[in-house]
């Protein structure tokens, strides 16, 4: 289990803009890193738009936001534009980063079990350490808890 104070695993993924993005690129800033299952779906849109709607508050407190899902960069770019998201979305098609962050695991829908992204968010401090770890969280609670963690 990931612990508060522990160093967040570094990663390198491709963004919705087709650019290579590393966690270490954000050193010196606080970061809200959220994992969601799929672009253009109800819960994921609620979570991403909640982050969007509070983005100025995050920025005012020295934080930025990044979203991660298995979607390809082209799909992420379309979704980002459709929802007017002011932050980048990263593609993790092989769920390598989701695995590192314990945001990949068994899920169940309509009685069927399958593997997928577990909705989660992490607050990472300017030095790259976990300030908050929220795994298996609803979209609404993710927004509220991330905001409380950043704003205080």
User: Which residues are catalytically annotated?
Assistant: 44
**Phi, psi of 93, rounded to the nearest 5 degrees:** -60, -30
What's the CA angle centered on 28, arms 147 and 129, to 5 degrees?
65
- 67 strand-pairing partners: 34, 89
CA atoms of 130 and 18, how far apart (whole Å): 27
Tokens standing for residue 22: 């590393």
- Six token digits for residue 73: 């960069």
Sheet containing strand 88-91, strands side by side: 20-22, 12-15, 88-91, 63-69, 30-35, 120-124, 130-135
Closest CA to 34 of 25, 26, 44, 42: 44
């Amino acid at each position: 289990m990931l612990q508060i104070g522990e160093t967040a695993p570094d990663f390198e993924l491709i963004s919705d803009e087709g650019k290579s993005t590393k966690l270490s690129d954000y050193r010196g800033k606080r970061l809200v890193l959220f994992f969601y299952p799929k672009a253009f779906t109800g819960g994921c849109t609620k979570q991403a738009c909640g982050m969007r709607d509070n983005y100025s508050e995050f920025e005012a407190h020295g934080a930025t936001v990044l979203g991660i899902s298995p979607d390809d960069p082209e799909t992420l770019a379309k979704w980002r534009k459709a929802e007017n998201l002011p932050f980048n979305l990263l593609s993790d098609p092989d769920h390598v980063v989701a695995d590192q962050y314990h945001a990949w695991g068994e899920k169940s829908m309509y009685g069927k079990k399958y593997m997928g992204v577990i909705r989660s968010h992490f607050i990472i401090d300017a030095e790259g350490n976990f300030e908050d770890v929220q795994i298996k969280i609803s979209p609404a609670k993710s927004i509220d808890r991330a905001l409380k963690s950043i704003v205080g």
